[in-house]
Amino acid sequence: MRKRASTKRTNDPEGMRNRVLDVAARSFQQLGVGRTSMHDIQRKAKVSTGALYRHFPTKKDLTLAVIGERVSAEVADTWIRAIEDAPTAGAGILAVFQSTIDHLEEAGKVSGCPLGNLALELASADEDYRHALTDEYQSWRKALAQRLAREIADGGASYAGSDPEAFATVVVALFSGAMSIAKAEQRPAALRDCLLYLERKIREP
Amino acid sequence: MRKRASTKRTNDPEGMRNRVLDVAARSFQQLGVGRTSMHDIQRKAKVSTGALYRHFPTKKDLTLAVIGERVSAEVADTWIRAIEDAPTAGAGILAVFQSTIDHLEEAGKVSGCPLGNLALELASADEDYRHALTDEYQSWRKALAQRLAREIADGGASYAGSDPEAFATVVVALFSGAMSIAKAEQRPAALRDCLLYLERKIREP
Amino acid sequence: MRKRASTKRTNDPEGMRNRVLDVAARSFQQLGVGRTSMHDIQRKAKVSTGALYRHFPTKKDLTLAVIGERVSAEVADTWIRAIEDAPTAGAGILAVFQSTIDHLEEAGKVSGCPLGNLALELASADEDYRHALTDEYQSWRKALAQRLAREIADGGASYAGSDPEAFATVVVALFSGAMSIAKAEQRPAALRDCLLYLERKIREP
Amino acid sequence: MRKRASTKRTNDPEGMRNRVLDVAARSFQQLGVGRTSMHDIQRKAKVSTGALYRHFPTKKDLTLAVIGERVSAEVADTWIRAIEDAPTAGAGILAVFQSTIDHLEEAGKVSGCPLGNLALELASADEDYRHALTDEYQSWRKALAQRLAREIADGGASYAGSDPEAFATVVVALFSGAMSIAKAEQRPAALRDCLLYLERKIREP
DNA sequence: ACAGGCGGGACTTCCCGTTTAT
DNA sequence: ATAAACGGGAAGTCCCGCCTGT
């Protein structure tokens, strides 16, 4: 009862895995996990069912891999490195808001914060998702808080008060929330309002 | 204790409609729209298929009704009335954060902001949803901004700067974002951090 | 985790079932059962997985339905009616051979005898298939044998000897075997040889 | 009883090849090519994957080898030699039918004609298969036709008419077709009917 | 008005033929 | 030469939103 069709095949597990993760990350970001079917991923990544399920036995496995390998990297690239490379924590924060606004305007549409999207969609679904997502939030806030703490110790960053952790949370919440509103409205106005507010607080505390 | 002069018919269209909306709103909030099935709603609201579809011909109709009638009311109850009834806008904002934290601790679990949940899930799915949701965000910010504007005109609310609209957005973003984090972490710590920050800014500007 | 997409739908169980059977019968005949996938059938019949499996829970169910409703009808149309309508059994037999050859030449390819194809492929796979297939062979031979018996009783059809059953089997075997060879060779030469032989036997016994 | 002067290596390439062909031929005959997996063959022939693929890089190669070396030999043994060794072509034909019936009754099951089975399964799949299979049919008919031609030239075999080629085809078709029916019915009745018919035609033309 | 039928499609399991690391 | 990994794809289960005969 089997069909045999012989076309040449090449084994490239690493490339295959990456292709799937890329496609999945992109679709999860734009449509959400629920609206992305495994079949869509197969088609867009040009991967067969067998190959897909060899690397990611369930959709959950794939989703967790996207969170741990792609969303995580995106948070690191967008926020953590930016914060660390900036002259001051405050300058880094403002820079990220500004560059996010620029990107959104270029793109012409707002698909939201990769981490925030998944957090809202998956947090109530499953403990494993929740843990993976809190880990990402933790890294994000920790990177911010550590930089702030250093500056506070050096007598700077007075806008953050004496509690760098709390202020890090405020920044993360502000960004996540503004992104939610921006996504609903499909325009970055909310982000711009928050940037304005932060500029005032950071530059003239 | 007396029997009401009621008709023979056991039907109660209005009551049924409300029952369905209640069940749906609750489930949408806790599981999301996608994970809530019409069958579940039927069962929990004790309504038959035909009766349900008489009132809400499609799931989309039901969802829009939940947004326009239930989520809207929740935003009004939780934020708009609280802001208007409080002695000052600032006090109102702090009170809402505080009471939200109290509620979450009582409930022992965090299902997130009703509006934020739906916004993230539905915004990218359909224009009709998006419009209904932005309307809610607008009302929320507008109520805040108007109160702030009044106080600024009276020489108060200096923490809000000169732009009440922008500060309103900041508050909404802060609340939404903190709720996202709180939902992911299943604890209201992020809200508490934000409350702390706001207290400092509002009380000693 | 569900996607909802609303496109209009129409319920037509009967039409759907027939569309599937048509497509399946055609593909089973041309490619064989084993080389026809349920997915192929879905695509060609423009039927969704759910709809397909509602009508035919397994591939076996579909295959048995094709045998009992389509192959059966084809045998009836091609052989049984032709035999009954012909002036004599012999004339009928020759006519079927001739018209088969004509059809094959027109088509330019030989996909074999619908019943024979399935018989060879499925007989060793499963008892249920076997029974369904033998039933068809029986009807075919029975129709031939009865016609022959009538003519023998009337003093005709001397070429068939005194045993109409055995001669019916010979005709069926001759046709099936010639079709096998014709399919392998992709030309109707074998059928023509058999027709020649039968003509000689029937016309000048 | 003496030990053979053999090499250290336990390998026996020729023997392995034969073992594989035997196992494959047997399984192809009983289950068909499609229902026979390379893994089954490996296991039954006690050969490792690599060893198998050294001799037969693809399943197609193996299948063609089975056709060209095993099926071919079976046709030669069963029909061609029998025809040549018999006192007359007619006697040979009858003998083959008879011995086939005897074998089937002994075996208690009917797996069909090795050539016919493969022909039906593979003819429509691939040109290479088709050619290999038509070659076998050709040899079979040719052997029959040549013997008949000799006898006709000697004034015998009047039952075959003047066209030995056509009658050879009739015999082959009759055998193949009867085998199909016998396989479907799992009893050699159809073959017996055909034998009866042929006896009458050949003995008392 | 209602229960059950219908069509839609997502997800997963299974196994097969082939390739590759060892 | 061997066993394990790999990519391909068929078959099936499940449930959902919607429609319809009674």
- CA dist B196 and A84 (Å) reads 26
CB–CB of C167/C89 below 8 Å?
A: no
In this predicted model, what pLDDT tens digit does every residue of A135-144 receive, in sequence order? 999 999 999 9
Phi-psi sector, D90: left (phi>0), alpha (psi -120 to 50), beta: alpha
User: How distant is the Cα of B37 from the closest Cα of chain C, in angstroms?
Assistant: 9
Q: Which residue is nearest to nucleotide E1 (CA to C1')?
A: B50
Measuring CA to CA, which residue among C46, B184, D109 is closest to residue A172? B184
**Alpha-helical regions (H) of chain A:** 13-31, 38-45, 49-55, 59-65, 72-75, 81-85, 89-107, 114-122, 127-153, 164-185, 189-203
Chain-wide mean pLDDT for chain D?
90
Sequence length of chain B is: 205
CB–CB of B134/B116 below 8 Å?
A: no
Q: Of A193-197, A201-205, B133-137, C101-105, which range is least confident? A: A201-205
Confidence band of D1 (pLDDT split at 50, 70, 90): very low
Q: Sign of torsion, CA C158 C162 C165 C169?
A: negative
Contact check, Cβ <8 Å, A32/B190: no
Give the Cβ contact number of residue C119 at 10 Å. Answer: 28
Q: What percent of chain B has pLDDT over 70?
A: 93
- CA dist C86 and C94 (Å) reads 10
**Torsion over CA of A57, A59, A60 and A65, rounded to 10 degrees?**
80
Looking at chain D, which residue has its C-alpha nearest residue A8?
A: D58
In this predicted model, what pLDDT tens digit does every residue of B33-53 receive, in sequence order? 999 999 999 999 999 898 898
Strand, helix or coil at B32? coil
- CA dist A174 and C189 (Å) reads 82
Q: SS3 letters for chain C?
A: CCCCCCCCCCCCHHHHHHHHHHHHHHHHHHHCCCCCCHHHHHHHHCCCHHHHHHHCCCHHHHHHHHHHHHHHHHHHHHHHHHHHHCCCHHHHHHHHHHHHHHHHHHHCCCCCCHHHHHHHHHCCCCHHHHHHHHHHHHHHHHHHHHHHHHHHHCCCCHHHCCCHHHHHHHHHHHHHHHHHHHHHHCCCHHHHHHHHHHHHHHHCC
Chain-wide mean pLDDT for chain B?
90
User: How distant is the Cα of D93 from the closest Cα of chain A, in angstroms?
Assistant: 35
**Alpha-helical regions (H) of chain D:** 13-31, 38-45, 49-55, 59-65, 72-75, 81-85, 89-107, 114-122, 127-153, 164-185, 189-203
Q: Give Cα separations from A128 to A21, A65, A118, B185 (angstroms).
A: 19, 12, 13, 12
- CA dist D23 and D41 (Å) reads 6
Which residues 47-76 of D are in CB contact (within 8 Å) with C?
A: none
Chain-wide mean pLDDT for chain A?
93
- CA dist B112 and B44 (Å) reads 22
Task: State which H helix or E strand residue B145 sits in.
Answer: helix B127-153
Looking at chain B, which residue has its C-alpha nearest residue A192?
A: B166
The partner residue sitting opposite C1, judged by closest CB among A2, A3, A34, is: A34
> Residue D21: pLDDT above 80?
yes
- CA dist B116 and D150 (Å) reads 94
Q: What is the pTM of this model?
A: 0.89
Compute the count of residue pairs across chains A and C with CB atoms less than 8 Å apart: 16
Q: Give Cα separations from B4 to B7, B8, B9, B101 (angstroms).
A: 9, 11, 13, 42
Sequence length of chain A is: 205
Contact check, Cβ <8 Å, D184/C130: yes
> Residue B60: pLDDT above 80?
yes
In this predicted model, what pLDDT tens digit does every residue of D81-106 receive, in sequence order? 999 999 999 999 999 999 999 999 99
User: DSSP secondary-structure letter at D66?
Assistant: I
- CA dist C134 and D1 (Å) reads 54
Confidence band of D8 (pLDDT split at 50, 70, 90): very low
